[in-house]
Structure 1
Amino acid sequence: MAMARRLVLWGVLAACVAAGAGDWSPGTATFYGGADGSGTMDGACGYGNLYSAGYGVNNAALSQTLFNDGASCGQCYLIMCDTSKSTSCKPGNTITVTATNLCPANYALTNGGWCGPGRPHFDMSQPAWENIGIYQAGVIPVVYQRVQCSRSGGVRFSLAGSKYFLLVNIQNIGGSGSVGAAWVKGTKTGWIQMSRNWGANWQALSGLVGQALSFAVTSTGGQYVHFPDVVPAWWQFGQTFTSNLQFSY
């Protein structure tokens, strides 16, 4: 039986390599948030309702090692249970999840904490996790790789802040899935370079209320996209605006 499981795992790995997929790395995975995944909403990336942000239930909180202080927010990972190390796997199954949250370093204090420093760990939504693992296991060994993200619709900009401070959560990014750099321009300003505040939130220390807003974003994949006048002048804090443009890498 053990040999059969190993053959299934390596058969899937070989197929992925043949298709041009990247290298696989070892890690571990648990689940949280309940059977409907509702407990995974919000989180350290600031996306709020993950359905509204374009991500849905196939999501995961990353350990500190993978989260990278929020720079990994929105990235996609292909995950498979390692049948060579556990009998709690569902052999041959894979799942792609989006990074939407941070798994605390003290999570599961036994064994030093699954999400502690130096440990690549995915605390997945229960529906996503059950694609690859048997519920009773609780924690499983996995192999994973970062992959390109496929998104429906355009990039979204969710606005927060105050009169003199703009905070923008940049959501639903395809391709590399995450933001490397961002700029904003009002109808009365030039281009203002933004900086990461926390998670997927980018800030501009400038009063932009009452102005239509354009954005420019470079993904971590290196693709630059300009979003002209995506936010009308009548915008208010708490609103989200969707572009008709998307990243491909």
Structure 2
Amino acid sequence: MATVGLSESLFERGQICGACFELRCVDDLRWCIPGTSIILAVTNFCPPKGHCNPPNKHFVLPIEAFEKIAIWKVGIMPVQYRRIKCRREGGIRFQVSGSSIFISVLITNVAGAGDVTAVKIKGSRTGWLPMGRNWGQNWHVNADLRNQPLSFEVTSSDGQTIASYNVAPKDWNFGQTFEGSKQFEA
């Protein structure tokens, strides 16, 4: 699956990171490749300038993805898009970073809606602690949770919640990525 950057009008200040779209070229039989579409996962932001200026709704595609729906020579094409459910292999991934006074977690590989609207973290010696969104799907909390197994509760934009218990073992370290055993339905 290709990744895509979105203009500010679509990016929703990073809240839509992880969501999936189906895109196809429209309105130009000379440059569009008929009957083709691509599936994309939102991973980036297109800074407001040129085609990415509000209120434009713009997708910044890698060349390889663009060439599946249109001839690259044209550069910019009108597209038709729709949000779709994401299909992912394996469980939700949690990449842990931070320091002794805070934990930051990047959440990836989320199926279903694909984007996350709320996260809670729990150590073996704490209750559930709500995490705040830092940017995109980076979440943080001011807490020292070292030397405790970590559990996560993730809520997607369609309102579904999954709890992944003891995803990180007691001896986890910053910089490691852990995979939960559960996944949202695609």
Q: TM-score, normalised by structure 1?
A: 0.73
- Paired residues for 1:38-187 under 5 Å: 58-82=2-26, 84-85=27-28, 87-106=30-49, 113-187=50-124
Mapped to 2, the partners of 1:132 and 1:157 lie a distance apart of: 33
1:67-92 Cα shifts (integer Å, max 9, x gaps): 1111000000000001x246211111
- Residue of structure 2 aligned with 1:223, choices 160, 163, 169: 160
Letter in 2 for 1:64: E
DSSP-derived class of the 1:119 partner: coil
Contact residue 80 and residue 142 of structure 1 kept, 8 A? yes
Task: Report the structure, 1 or 2, having the larger strand content.
Answer: 2
Percentage identity across paired residues of the two chains: 42
Deviation, structure 1 residue 104? 1.1
1:6 corresponds to: none
Mapped to 2, the partners of 1:143 and 1:193 lie a distance apart of: 37
1:145-200 Cα shifts (integer Å, max 9, x gaps): 11100001110000111111100001000000010111000011111011101111
Mapped to 1, the partners of 2:153 and 2:121 lie a distance apart of: 6
1:3-61 Cα shifts (integer Å, max 9, x gaps): xxxxxxxxxxxxxxxxxxxxxxxxxxxxxxxxxxxxxxxxxxxxxxxxxxxxx5x1100
Letter in 2 for 1:89: C
Q: 2:143 aligned with 1:199, yes or no?
A: no
Contact residue 157 and residue 170 of structure 1 kept, 8 A? yes
Q: CA RMSD in A?
A: 1.1
1:212-247 Cα shifts (integer Å, max 9, x gaps): 100001111111101000011111111100112101
Gaps of 5+ in 1: 1-55, 107-112
DSSP-derived class of the 2:143 partner: coil
Letter in 2 for 1:93: T
Mapped to 1, the partners of 2:177 and 2:11 lie a distance apart of: 25
Letter in 1 for 2:125: K
Mapped to 1, the partners of 2:57 and 2:30 lie a distance apart of: 21
Mapped to 2, the partners of 1:86 and 1:232 lie a distance apart of: 55
Gaps of 5+ in 2: none
Letter in 2 for 1:72: I
Letter in 1 for 2:127: G
Letter in 2 for 1:168: V
Mapped to 1, the partners of 2:168 and 2:158 lie a distance apart of: 25
Contact residue 76 and residue 148 of structure 1 kept, 8 A? yes
